[in-house]
Amino acid sequence: MAKILGIGNAVLDIIHTVPHYPHEDEEIRAFKKSITSGGNVNNSLYVLNQLGHNTAICSTVAADSEAKLLLADLKKRNISTAYVQKFIQGCTPSSSVTLNAQSGHRSIVHYRDLPEVTFDYFAKIEIEEYDWLHFEGRNLGNLPGMLNIAKTFLTNQPISLEVEKPRDGIEAMIPLANLVIFSHHYAQAKGFNDGHALLSEIQKITTHSNLVCTWGDQGVWYASPNGEVHHILAEAVNPVVDTLGAGDTFNAGLIHSLIEGHSLTESVNRANKLAAQKCRQYGLDNLMEVKHADKPLANIKQLSNAKTLTVNSGTRSVILIKHGDSVKAYLNNCPHQNVPLNEAYKIDVNPFEKTMKCSVHDAFFNIEDGLCIEGPCWNEALETIDIHIDDKGNIFLGS
């Protein structure tokens, strides 16, 4: 286990899951809403926690109600907030995220008017206590000073830098990091058509940094210091459920694997698989349950169209039920009060109307798509769990 400090933005994400992207002037109803903490570094730290590390974030919040929600969620994620700088003026950064359930892709509207972490604040942190420092490539007013302090006072601890967008002066920061991770947004904004072209150019300004460029479904390019640029294809994901935080998950997987002592090639491959796993599920919770994917949840012979079977997978409870010849799997969590549907009694099933009922306040859900058609959470839906069934009828997590 390593102690990791992430320096970047913590944001309150308000995520609406919608059946399709609305066009201008259209009003549509979201079937799922969640409010959670987001931001690149925050997401990466959350995944690193799940991978067994001890993390802290250095970020800023305002004195508003959003800050309370954000700090509470960071606490829930087990990310230390000891180094969150508080400002009296401004708003805690927030993002309005629209997640298209059809494609799993998202669009984000971000608002911030809050100052970034100041140099003086950062300079007081005992950074020597940490095994790894991960910086978001932003806050260019203070980033050079922060990176220079880190270079001066840290002898063995690696520094990573995420370069997501082009910003004035960011290129001068690249040689100060041991690992630099570029996004395709940065590469494209700089006029490059693939990661190979970008990294070959970046190698001219740094001789000792590991370089990585992620490019969504086109895969990842990477190069060791002065080494050749290599490419791996993206891990296949079908269907894509949710891409929000996939890049942050990749970064966490990469840092984790390098901390474990694996080569850059091995680490990129591992991170690629972890990012794909993230795209197969909503959100970042319980990401490591991929470890349980090789154990069957149940066998199809145990299921019927007239009753549900609830099984545990890691920390989650999953509802399984037959629907015609297919099998449906839902998270056992009622969207009304976020409690299991069988909290009060068993889950009643009506095989004629093809519905099942929450035992707490009698919300009825379609078995086919998990949508609430009657009750206090009307038009909200149960969270679908990806499953696949082998030729022996064993039901596994994952598509």
Smaller CB separation from ligand FES, 311 or 339: 339
Contact 261, 267 (CB under 8 A): no
The residue (of 31 and 221) whose beta carbon lies closer to ligand FES is 31
Q: Which residues make up the interface to ligand FES (CB under 6 A)?
A: 334, 336-337, 339, 358, 360-361, 363, 375-376
**Of residues 16 and 361, the one with the C-beta less far from ligand FES:** 361
Q: Reading across the β-sheet that carries 298-299, which strands appear in turn? A: 298-299, 394-397, 387-389
Collapsed DSSP state (helix, strand, coil) of residue 289 = helix
CB of 50 vs ligand FES, minimal distance in Å: 27
Least distance (Å) from ligand FES to the CB of residue 344?
Answer: 8
CB of 341 to ligand FES, least distance (A): 6
Query: How are beta strands 364-366 and 372-374 bridged, if at all?
Result: antiparallel
CB of 193 to ligand FES, least distance (A): 50
Smallest gap, in angstroms, from Cβ of residue 53 to ligand FES? 35
- Please, what is the minimum distance in Å from the beta carbon of residue 371 to ligand FES? 14
CA neighbours within 13 Å on the CB side: how many for 285?
A: 15
Cis bond before residue 239 (omega within 30° of 0): yes
For ligand FES, the closer of residues 215 and 365 by Cβ is 365
Contact predicate 68/44, CB 8 Å? no
Q: Assess contact for 90 and 117: CB atoms under 8 A.
A: no
Tell me the closest approach of the beta carbon of residue 370 to ligand FES, in angstroms.
13
- Closer to ligand FES at the Cβ: 271 or 358? 358
Residue of 215, 152, 206 lying closest to 180 (CA atoms)? 206
Residue with smaller CB distance to ligand FES, 362 or 390: 362
With b for 16 or more beta-carbon neighbours within 10 A and e for fewer, the 359-394 pattern comes to: bbeebbbbbeebbbeebebeebbbbbbbbebeeeee
- CB atoms under 10 Å from CB of 78, counted, come to 13
Single-letter code of the amino acid located at 60:
T
- CB closer to ligand FES out of 153 and 378: 378
Q: Which of 165, 372, 397 is nearest to 291 (CA)?
A: 397
Shortest CB 369 distance to ligand FES, Å: 17
Q: How far is the CB of 353 from ligand FES (least distance, A)?
A: 17
The backbone torsions φ and ψ at residue 147, rounded to the nearest 5 degrees and listed phi first, read: -65, -35
**CA 163, 45, 387, 22 torsion-angle sign:** negative
- Our CB check for ligand FES shows the closer of 147 and 381 to be 381
In whole angstroms, give the CA distance from residue 215 to residue 268: 13
CB nearer to ligand FES: pick between 45 and 358: 358
Angle of helix 40-50 versus helix 246-259 axis, rounded to 10:
50
